[in-house]
């Protein structure tokens, strides 16, 4: 949808929702993201401005899985009344009157996602502030995992542990630079032969990492964002995921800034403290996370090179495909 058309649709939407025929819409702009289409916009009504964030599925896809934005709504509404920082949904629906597809709208926040590169705001925080931010993140994650799955029955049945391994097969087959994934078949076998037993099942985020934590610039966590991959299944996969993004041995030299945020082991300790009970051995979950992201990198590298989803960052990330799988095997012993 062109921005001009969207602005006209948003104008009708805002006037109806605000019950104000004089309401005006401005500043409509596309925001980054691949799993859904996201837009920022401002509504002026009653002499004041309010900024909003609109999420819709991408065009020409079936509205299911990651393209079913109402899955995100289900989880965000379940988080209302909890202490988990999140964006409460103001409006949502599957009616096609406004945008021709399902949608939801949340308030825009002032701040940024965590950025840790040289000169970025999170890297400039004091070590104490960065550690506090990490603790806020793991406390929020424990809060997500405490949500009663019955509150989000819309998400469907739990994802079986084996399925969480084999569902990446089709992406592996489409990966670029397959030589960098030479350990994947062996790693896949090891993961399937050591599936966890009696592990916690509940609501998971699906992509819990620093770039999906929206904060004020003083290091206060304002919202866990980007819930496209949410579901019901192994909650500890989220812990393994963020631990992997805090684990320098899993990455090519220089990819992570190891002295900026706490280590993977420290992140796990913070989660266990927030959870309030002992955890099983998390090495399997960390290995699975590294396995997944190595394959995801290969797939996105292929999409980039074929012009399907251009992003030159994957040409750098590809250097970690081998180290991720090596680290995964090491974690599995």
Q: Is the pLDDT of residue 36 over 90?
A: no
User: How far out from the chain centre does Cα 12 lie?
Assistant: 31
Which residues span the domain enclosing 226? 112-331
Percent of the chain with pLDDT over 90: 88
10 within some domain: no
* Domain's final residue, options 92, 107, 122: 107
Instruction: Look at 27-31, 170-174, 191-195 and tell me which has the smallest mean pLDDT.
Output: 27-31
Q: Is the pLDDT of residue 35 over 50?
A: no
43 within some domain: yes
**Are 86 and 27 in the same domain?**
yes
List the structure tokens of 200: 């916690």
List the structure tokens of 258: 């190891």
Render pLDDT for 179-211 as a digit per residue (tens, 0 to 9): 999 999 999 999 999 999 888 999 999 999 999
Alpha-carbon distance of 193 to 39, in angstroms, equals 44
What sign does the CA torsion over 148, 154, 155, 158 have? positive
Render pLDDT for 233-262 as a digit per residue (tens, 0 to 9): 999 999 999 999 999 999 998 777 656 789
49 within some domain: yes
* Per-residue confidence (pLDDT) for residue 182, from 0 to 100: 98
* Domain's final residue, options 89, 107, 125: 107
Across 24-29, average pLDDT: 96
CB atoms within 10 A of CB 293: 22
**Are 316 and 241 in the same domain?**
yes
**Are 174 and 266 in the same domain?**
yes
Domain count along the chain:
2
Q: Is the pLDDT of residue 12 over 60?
A: yes
Which residues does 114 contact at the CB level (< 8 Å), separation at least 6?
Answer: 122, 133, 210, 211, 213, 215
Across 202-222, average pLDDT: 96
List the structure tokens of 190: 């090891």
**Are 94 and 50 in the same domain?**
yes
Task: Give the domain CATH number at 49.
Answer: 3.30.200.20
12 within some domain: no
DSSP 23: -
**Are 170 and 220 in the same domain?**
yes
17 within some domain: no
Render pLDDT for 115-129 as a digit per residue (tens, 0 to 9): 988 889 999 999 999
Alpha-carbon distance of 333 to 266, in angstroms, equals 20
**Are 191 and 290 in the same domain?**
yes
Tokens 């995921």 appear where?
Answer: 241
Alpha-carbon distance of 71 to 229, in angstroms, equals 9
Residues 227, 260: contact at Cβ < 8 Å?
no
* Domain's final residue, options 54, 73, 107: 107
List the structure tokens of 265: 């082991």
Tokens 């032969």 appear where?
Answer: 193
293 within some domain: yes
% helix / strand / coil in the chain, to the nearest 5? 45, 15, 40
130 within some domain: yes
Q: Is the pLDDT of residue 53 over 80?
A: yes
Render pLDDT for 58-76 as a digit per residue (tens, 0 to 9): 888 899 888 899 999 999 9
Residues in the chain: 333
- Strands (E) in the chain, as ranges, are 24-31, 37-45, 48-56, 91-93, 103-107, 112-113, 201-204, 213-215, 221-224, 231-234
CB atoms within 10 A of CB 286: 26
**Are 49 and 167 in the same domain?**
no
Render pLDDT for 138-159 as a digit per residue (tens, 0 to 9): 999 999 999 999 999 999 999 9
Backbone φ, ψ for residue 278 (5° rounding): -60, 150
Which residues does 80 contact at the CB level (< 8 Å), separation at least 6?
Answer: 88
Tokens 């087959």 appear where?
Answer: 173
CA dihedral of 267, 269, 273, 277, whole degrees rounded to 10 = 120
Instruction: Supply angle C-alpha 203, 220, 201, rounded to 5.
Output: 10
**Are 170 and 302 in the same domain?**
yes
**Are 189 and 98 in the same domain?**
no
**Are 168 and 295 in the same domain?**
yes
Task: Give the domain CATH number at 184.
Answer: 3.90.1200.10
Encode burial over 138-162: b for 16+ CB neighbours within 10 A, e otherwise. Answer: bbbbbbbbbbebeebeebeeebebe
171 within some domain: yes
**Are 228 and 321 in the same domain?**
yes
**Quick check: helix, strand or coil at residue 211?**
helix
**Are 101 and 150 in the same domain?**
no
Burial class (CB in 10 A: 0-12, 13-18, 19+), 255: middle
């Amino acid at each position: 949808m062109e921005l001009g058309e969207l602005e006209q649709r948003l104008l009708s939407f805002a006037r109806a929702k605000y019950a104000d025929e004089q309401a005006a819409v401005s500043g409509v702009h596309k925001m980054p993201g691949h799993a859904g289409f996201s837009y920022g916009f401002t509504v002026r009504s009653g002499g004041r401005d309010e900024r909003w964030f609109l999420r819709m599925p991408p065009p020409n896809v079936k509205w299911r899985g990651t393209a079913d934005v109402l899955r995100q709504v289900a989880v965000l509404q379940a988080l209302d009344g909890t202490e988990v920082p999140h964006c409460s949904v103001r409006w949502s629906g599957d009616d096609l009157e406004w945008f021709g597809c399902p949608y939801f709208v949340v308030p825009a926040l002032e701040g940024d996602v965590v950025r840790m590169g040289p000169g970025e705001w999170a890297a400039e925080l004091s070590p104490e502030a960065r550690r506090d931010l990490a603790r806020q993140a793991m406390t929020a994650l424990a809060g997500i995992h405490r949500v009663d799955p019955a509150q989000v029955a819309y998400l469907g049945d739990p994802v079986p542990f084996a399925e969480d391994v084999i569902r990446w097969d089709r992406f592996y087959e489409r990966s670029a630079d397959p030589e960098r994934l030479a350990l994947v078949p062996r790693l896949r076998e090891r993961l399937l032969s050591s599936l966890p037993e009696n592990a916690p099942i509940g609501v998971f985020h699906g992509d819990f990492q620093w770039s999906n934590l929206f904060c004020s610039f003083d290091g206060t966590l304002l919202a866990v964002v980007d819930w496209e991959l949410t579901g019901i299944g192994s909650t500890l996969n989220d812990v393994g995921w963020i631990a992997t993004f805090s684990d320098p041995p899993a990455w090519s030299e220089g990819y992570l800034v190891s002295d900026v945020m706490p280590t993977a082991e420290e992140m796990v300790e913070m989660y266990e403290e927030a959870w309030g009970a002992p955890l099983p051995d998390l090495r399997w979950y960390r290995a699975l996370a590294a396995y997944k992201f190595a394959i995801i990198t290969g797939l996105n590298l292929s999409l980039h090179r074929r012009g399907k989803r251009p992003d030159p960052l994957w040409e750098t990330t590809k250097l970690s495909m081998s180290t991720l799988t090596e680290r995964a095997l090491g974690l599995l012993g």
